[in-house]
């Protein structure tokens, strides 16, 4: 039901009120703090792009279309890679654009109920993902060669000594290596990684486990590969030597819990050490895709992969399975109904 009288408040005021509501929901447990942080950040980005002094009810579908386009073309502030020679900068990914649109939609749904707008302008939005430049890339997961290059760079970083001239409390080599190894082999959500505490890692029957606190208050115990566990133990030993007084696993060099936005910069630093022929830019979510894709490509039980990633059902897992170059050819070469000479693709003789 439409409100009898609309409150003509500015975009900025509406966003501030909405942010207060979102923060209140974290107190009651209706929203996870990480989700509330995303909603609040996206809505304030919307304010900056739409104009702080404009009246919210005056915005039309065309105005929101323009904001979506401007966001799509907005440089990705999480990426700290050098700006290319042509002056271009990394733009928003398809995932970021879809998330931003969902946040803005939730904001306007509340605005309609609260009486800040007569009609929800999102219903009149016409801009498509193609116009936003937000088509989903064919592959988010790294290929085997790219993944091996990144993991090799992380292992080499962990084995290298501290950089000359840096204080002990400013050394981040082991931390950076651990971040990349955990993301690429275990595939946690970035929020799960940054929320991890030292006490969440334990040993059972000689195997190192990570108790991951995921969505909806669910937990899962994931065993760590031996090489990852070794880097973890080396990092924890270095951390104990510094006598750090905080439960957080991953710390900035200032001793604070690492923020979600810092993780991409860590990945980029490790990527810079990879041979250019094996290097491809990737996000934390792309490494989650990489974990799922390569576990499934190795014929790992689907339910086991689901539990590693923390999905509630198998249907979600399908979105994380990306196509790998050459996998169809490999599957046909190992066809279970054929065997012996001539079984390989293109190897049969004409009758």
| Residue 110 annotated to the active site | no
- Yes or no: say if 38 and 2 are a contact pair by the CB < 8 Å rule: no
Spot the catalytic one: 288, 289, 294, 306.
288
CA–CA dist 221, 210 (Å, integer): 6
| Residue 25 annotated to the active site | no
Using CA atoms, how far residue 308 sits from 189, 192, 297, 303, 314, in Å, is 11, 12, 15, 9, 12
Spot the catalytic one: 110, 132, 189, 269.
189
Nearest by Cα to 282 from 264, 269, 301, 307 = 264
The residue count of the chain comes to: 351
Tokens in use for 122?
């999102």
- Yes or no: say if 5 and 49 are a contact pair by the CB < 8 Å rule: no
Burial class (CB in 10 A: 0-12, 13-18, 19+), 309: buried
Spot the catalytic one: 215, 257, 273, 279.
215
Contacts of 149 (CB under 8 A, 6+ apart): 274, 275, 278, 279
| Residue 2 annotated to the active site | no
| Residue 320 annotated to the active site | yes
Spot the catalytic one: 54, 144, 285, 333.
285
Residues labelled as active-site residues: 189, 215, 285, 288, 311, 320
């Amino acid at each position: 039901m439409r409100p009898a009288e609309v409150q003509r408040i500015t975009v900025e005021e509406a966003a501030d009120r909405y942010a207060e509501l979102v923060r209140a929901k974290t107190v009651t447990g209706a929203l996870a703090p990480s989700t509330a942080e995303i909603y609040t950040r996206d809505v304030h980005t919307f304010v900056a792009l739409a104009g702080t002094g404009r009246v919210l009810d005056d915005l039309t579908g065309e105005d929101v279309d323009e904001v979506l386009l401007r966001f799509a073309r907005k440089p990705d502030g999480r990426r700290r890679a050098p700006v290319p020679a042509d002056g271009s900068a990394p733009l928003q990914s398809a995932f970021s654009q879809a998330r931003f649109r969902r946040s803005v939609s939730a904001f306007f749904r509340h605005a309609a109920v609260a009486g800040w707008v007569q009609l929800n302008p999102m219903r009149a939005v016409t801009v498509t993902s193609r116009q936003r430049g937000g088509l989903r890339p064919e592959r988010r997961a790294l290929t085997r060669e790219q993944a091996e290059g990144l993991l090799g760079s992380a292992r080499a970083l962990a084995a290298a000594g501290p950089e000359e001239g840096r204080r002990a409390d400013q050394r981040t080599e082991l931390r950076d290596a651990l971040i990349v190894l955990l993301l690429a082999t275990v595939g946690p959500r970035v929020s799960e990684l940054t929320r991890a505490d030292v006490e969440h890692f334990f040993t059972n029957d000689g195997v190192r486990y990570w108790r991951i606190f995921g969505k909806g208050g669910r937990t899962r115990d994931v065993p760590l590969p031996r090489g990852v566990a070794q880097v973890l133990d080396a990092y924890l030993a270095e951390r104990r030597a510094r006598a750090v007084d905080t439960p957080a696993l991953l710390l900035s060099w200032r001793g604070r819990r690492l923020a979600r936005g810092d993780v991409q910069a860590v990945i980029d630093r490790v990527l810079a050490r990879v041979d250019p022929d094996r290097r491809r830019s990737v996000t934390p979510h792309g490494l989650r895709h990489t974990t799922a894709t390569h576990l499934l490509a190795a014929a790992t039980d689907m339910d086991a992969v689901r539990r590693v990633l923390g999905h509630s059902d198998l249907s979600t897992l399908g979105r994380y399975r990306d196509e790998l170059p050459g996998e169809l050819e490999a599957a046909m070469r190992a066809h279970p109904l054929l065997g012996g000479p001539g079984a390989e693709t293109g190897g049969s003789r004409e009758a």
